[in-house]
Structure 1
Amino acid sequence: MPVTLSRATLIEVAKLAGTSKTSVSRFFGPERERLTPKLQTRIAEAADTLGYQPNLMARGLKGGGSRLLGMLVADIRNPFSVAVVHGVEQAARAHGYSLIVCNTDNDPEQEQQHLRLLTAYQVEGLIINAAGQPEAQLQAIMRSGVPLVLLDRDIRQLDANVIGLDNALAIDMALEHLVQQGYRSILYVSESPAYASARQERLQRFTQQAATLGVKGQTLILSNLAAHAPTLKAFAKHSVSGPGAVLCANGNVTLAMTRRFQKLGIAIGPTGLMGIDELEWCELITPGITTLAQPTDDISHAAVSYLLNQLNGSAQASPLSYRHAPRLQVRGSTTFKHDPKHV
C-alpha cells in the first residue's frame, strides 16, 4: 500500500531506490543531470510508489531553491495568454521547475496582491504580463535578487527586458500584404492602448507606416462595440467603390470584428479582414481569415531561458531574441480580386 505524502521521507525513497539520500536530493534539485538515466528512473519509481513529493517551500526557506517560477497574466482568457502560459509551463517543466500562474483580470489592485503572494511562495523567477504599472513592487523584487522578465508589455521606469512580438515588424508585414492585395483604405481597430505597450507600439507604427505608404488609414479604439457599428458600416460601404480592409490589433478584436461583420451583413473579402494573433476558428470562417500568428512557443521558451540564465549566472552565455517575428497565414479574407480600375 502506498505511503501517504505526510509519512514518506527522502530517506525512505533512497532506501527503496537502492541509493543515497544525496542522490535523491539531487534528483529533486538542480543537479538531476549528474545522475545516470537508470538511477533517475529508479528514484522516480520509488518516489511514485511511496507517494513522495519534496517540500518545495521548506527547501526554499533553507536556501535550496523552491524550484518554482511565478507568472502574472493580465487576462487569462486572452488567446495569446492561453498559448504563452502553456508554452511557459512546458519549458519550465522540462528544466525541473513548476509554475504558479496568477490572473489579474486587468486589475492593477489584483496585480499587486498577486505579486505579494508570489513573493511569499519564494518563487525563483517571475514572468510578468502586466495589467498596470507596478514599478515599485517589481523594483523591490529585483533588488531582492529575484530575476524577472516582462512578457509582451513594457513597464515605465523599470530596467527589465521585454520578450514578445516584434510589433513594428508585425504592422509592416500586415500593411505590405494588404497593399499587395490592392487594399488602399485600412481601418485599424484596437482595444484601449492604455497600460498596454504592445498596443501602443502597434497603433503608433500603423499611423506612421500608413502615411508613408500613401494608404488612407483610419483608427478605431473599441469600448462599446455597438456604438462603433456606424463607423464600420460606413467604412464597408466606402469599400464597395474603393478597396478597404479592417486590420485587427489582436485576437479579441478579430473575434469582435468578425461578429460585427456578420451582424451587419458585410461580406468578408470585398471588405478585407485581417488579424494579429492566429486563432483556431479563423480557418473555419468562410472564406478564412488572414492572420499574423505569434510564435508563442518561441516567446515562452525565451522567457524561461532568460530566467534560468539569470539563476545560473550565465546571462551572456546564450544570446536571446527578445523580439520575435510573426508568421503570415494568408486566407480568403484578404485575397479578394478587386477591379483594377479601383486599385
Structure 2
Amino acid sequence: MNDRRRPATILEVARQAGVSKTSVSRYYSGERERLSGAMRERIVAAATALGYQPNPMARGLKGGPSGLVGMLVADIRNPFSVAIMHGVEQACRQAGLSLMVCNSDNDLEQERQQLALLSSYRIEGLVVNATGRHSDALAQLADSGTPLVLLDRSLADVHADEVGLDNDAAIDMAIAHLREQGYGRLLFITEPPAQASSRQARLERFNQRCRDGSLSGDTLVIELGDRQRLDQALARFVDSAGDSRPAILCANGQVTLALTRRMKALGYLLGEIGLMGIDELEWCDLTEPGITTLAQPTGAIGQAAVDCLRARAVGPRQAPQRATFAPTLTARGSTQPAATPSATAEPSSVSSSSSTSETSS
C-alpha cells in the first residue's frame, strides 16, 4: 500500500496510467504534443488521483526545461512591486510556468548576487525591475540570449524588451483631469529620479507641459523622509497660488502616502487643495474624502512581460520591443470640482488602453 504522506513519484504516475516513465516526463517537460490524446488523458487522470506535482527544480538540474521564470524587483515592499508580481505570477500560472522572486532592495551588489542565484536555477526567462543603474550582470544576461524583460525601467546598456506604463499619457491624463476640476496651479512631487527611468520620464513630461505654456506649475524633487523641507515646500506652494486653486500631483504611490499624511498633519483640506497620485493603493478609497488616482494595469503589464519572454524563447532574434499601457483614472473627493467645493466626487473610471512600439537595438 502506498504511503500518501510522501509526494507521489513520476514512476507511480506512469504505472497507474499504464504508460512509460518517459511519456510522463515528456508530458511535464513541454513535449506533450508528442503524445496521443488518449495517453495525455490517462496521465492527467493518474496524476490527479495520486496528487502528483512535478518538480521544476529537478527538471532543471537534469538539463531539461525548468519551467521556472525568474523575477527580480528593486523594492519588494513597494505596493507597485506587490501588484506587478501578482500580475506576472498569474500569467506564469496560465502558461504552466512557476515564478521565482528575488529582491535587490535597490542595491546594485544585491542585484548582481540575486541575478547569479536566479541563473543557477536554469530559469527560462527573467523579468527585472532594476535598481536603475548600470548593470554588467544584466547586460551579460541579455547578451547571452536569456529571454529578458525590463519592467518599469529603461537601461541604456541593456538591450531587452521593456513593458510598463505610458508615462507621457499618465501625466497628460492627470493634468487634463485637474484642469477640468478647476485647479489652476499644479505642483508635481517626485522622489529623486536618477535611479528610475519612469520617474525621469514623468518629471520630464510635466516640465515639458510647463515650458510649452500648457499649465502653471512647479516641481519638487525630495527625499520623503525630509518632513521639514516637505512641509516648507507645501506652505510656499499654497501661499504662492493666489486666486488659483492649487493641486498636487504625486509621482507614485509612496509619494501619495507621504503627502496625504503631511497635508492632514498641517490641516490642509483635501479637495480645496487638490491631491492626485499615480498608482492606486488599497487605502485611497478609505481615507476621507478619497484620493484620486491613476492606476497602472498591473495584470496587463504582467501578462505582456510573460508574453515577451515566451516569444523570445521560440522566436528569432529581433530588435527589442517596448510595450506601454495607459492608466485608469479613478476620480474621488481629493480633486473635487470648483463649483461644488463641499461635495465628494463619485468614483468614476476611464478605461485603459495599450500600444506597442519598437526601440533601437
Same fold (TM over 0.5): yes
Unmatched segments (≥5 aa) in structure 2? 342-361
Q: Find the counterpart in structure 2 of residue 323 from structure 1.
A: 324
What aligned pairs does 1:1-343 form with structure 2 within 5 A after superposition?
A: 1-2=3-4, 4-5=6-7, 8-32=8-32, 36=37, 38-39=41-42, 41-48=44-51, 53-54=54-55, 56-223=56-223, 224-227=225-228, 228-239=230-241, 241-313=243-315, 322-337=323-338
Cα drift, residue 145 of structure 1: 2.4
- Alpha-carbon distance in structure 1 between the residues aligned to 2:137 and 2:36: 39
Cα deviation code 1:133-162 (max 9, x no counterpart): 343212221233211000001112221121
- Alpha-carbon distance in structure 1 between the residues aligned to 2:36 and 2:323: 33
Cα drift, residue 337 of structure 1: 1.4
1:273 maps to a residue whose letter is L
- Alpha-carbon distance in structure 2 between the residues aligned to 1:244 and 1:108: 39
Change (3 A) 1:103 1:124: same
- Alpha-carbon distance in structure 2 between the residues aligned to 1:234 and 1:150: 38
Unmatched segments (≥5 aa) in structure 1? none
Cα drift, residue 221 of structure 1: 1.4
Secondary structure of the equivalent of 1:322?
strand
Cα drift, residue 114 of structure 1: 0.3
Once the two structures are aligned, what percentage of the paired residues are identical? 51
Secondary structure of the equivalent of 2:96?
coil
Do the aligned partners of 1:211 and 1:217 also contact (CA within 8 Å) in 2?
Answer: no
- Alpha-carbon distance in structure 1 between the residues aligned to 2:253 and 2:232: 22
- Alpha-carbon distance in structure 2 between the residues aligned to 1:39 and 1:155: 48
Do the aligned partners of 2:14 and 2:43 also contact (CA within 8 Å) in 1?
Answer: no
Secondary structure of the equivalent of 1:146?
coil
Change (3 A) 1:267 1:40: farther
Range moving further from structure 2, 33-42 or 227-236: 33-42
Q: Find the counterpart in structure 1 of residue 359 from structure 2.
A: none
- Alpha-carbon distance in structure 2 between the residues aligned to 1:253 and 1:328: 17
- Alpha-carbon distance in structure 2 between the residues aligned to 1:254 and 1:260: 10
- Alpha-carbon distance in structure 1 between the residues aligned to 2:152 and 2:340: 40
Do the aligned partners of 1:133 and 1:156 also contact (CA within 8 Å) in 2?
Answer: no
1:41 maps to a residue whose letter is V
Cα deviation code 1:233-254 (max 9, x no counterpart): 2223444632110000000011
TM-score (ref. length: structure 1): 0.90
- Alpha-carbon distance in structure 2 between the residues aligned to 1:192 and 1:17: 59
Cα drift, residue 193 of structure 1: 0.5
TM-score (ref. length: structure 2): 0.85
Range moving further from structure 2, 244-253 or 233-242: 233-242
- Alpha-carbon distance in structure 1 between the residues aligned to 2:84 and 2:309: 15
* RMSD over aligned Cα atoms: 2.4
- Alpha-carbon distance in structure 1 between the residues aligned to 2:161 and 2:54: 34
